[in-house]
Amino acid sequence: MGTLRAVTPDAIATDPTQQNTWICLPTYNELENLERMIRALAVERSEHGLARVTVLVIDDGSPDGTGAVADRMAEEFDWVQVLHRTAKEGLGRAYLAGFQVALDAGAELVMEMDCDFSHDPKDVHRLIAASTQADLILGSRGVTGGGVKGWPLSRRIISRGGSFYARTILGLRVRDLTGGFKLFHRRVLEAIDFDRVEAAGYTFQIELTYRARQKGFSVLEVPIIFIDREFGESKMTGSIVTEAMVKVWQLKLRRDRRAQR
């Protein structure tokens, strides 16, 4: 495992709000949430001087009409763009497609967040402000000041246990490995070979943070309060939990084989 890499002054902007920032917002059947989220992000942009923030909605062919709402929002706001995908291939594939669009458009910072308000849009400026301190910023439920609202005890145990399981096996000191509210500097995503990223579901969050640390990039966890969705259905399934358990060991074994060469 590489040591934490120092962030040099010439690698960051003195004012992160002036960086070309793209927020990747994957959707599948988020009809009840998408317009509300876009309008909340409009307020966040206005109140915190985030005029260079672009929101990219990545819709995986939602049958409930989410894609049409995304197109309507893009017509109303010139800072909203839409990537329509014809098949539901998993969260990881949607994010990677969105990341590539953002990088091709010249994004300097790339954020990922959920559309269901489990990630508070009012926290966007906090993650952007923290981008001067590390290469990868994580909105974390696991550090002091962070937490979860609206989850039953059983899901809290699964989440905390999953994060502990992953960081123990992979040897990472990140407290919230499974969180999906993240901000990447461009250089981090450019250093990761997207073709080698294997996780399609929520294990994608673990894998990308792991790959970033393997490349020696620094990570900072910023406390957030994660709020369970009010509208729509959770995408979490038993198969996603199983994938996570298997994928973590695959990542570790692959690392161990490379170390033995």
Looking up residue 46, the CATH number of its domain turns out to be 3.90.550.10
Assigned domain for 6 exists: no
What is the number of domains present in the chain? 1
Assigned domain for 150 exists: yes
Assigned domain for 7 exists: no
Assigned domain for 124 exists: yes
Interatomic CA distance for residues 203 and 163, integer angstroms: 11
Q: Can you read off the two tokens belonging to residue 214?
A: 């393997």
Q: Which pTM value belongs to this model?
A: 0.86
List beta partners, residue 237: none
- pLDDT tens string, the chain, 261 residues long: the values are 333 343 443 444 468 989 999 999 999 999 999 999 999 999 999 999 999 999 999 999 999 999 999 999 999 999 999 999 988 888 999 999 999 999 999 999 999 999 999 999 999 999 999 999 999 999 999 999 999 998 787 777 777 777 788 888 888 999 999 899 999 999 999 999 999 998 877 789 999 999 999 999 999 999 999 998 665 555 455 455 566 667 776 776 665 555 444
Assigned domain for 117 exists: yes
What range defines the domain where residue 132 resides? 13-260
Assigned domain for 1 exists: no
Query: How large is the angle between the packed helices 34-47 and 66-76, nearest 10 degrees?
Result: 30
Q: Degrees (nearest 5) of the Cα angle 131, 143, 20?
A: 15
Assigned domain for 139 exists: yes
Assigned domain for 3 exists: no
Q: Can you read off the two tokens belonging to residue 12?
A: 């960051």
Q: Are strands 182-185 and 109-112 parallel, antiparallel or unpaired?
A: antiparallel
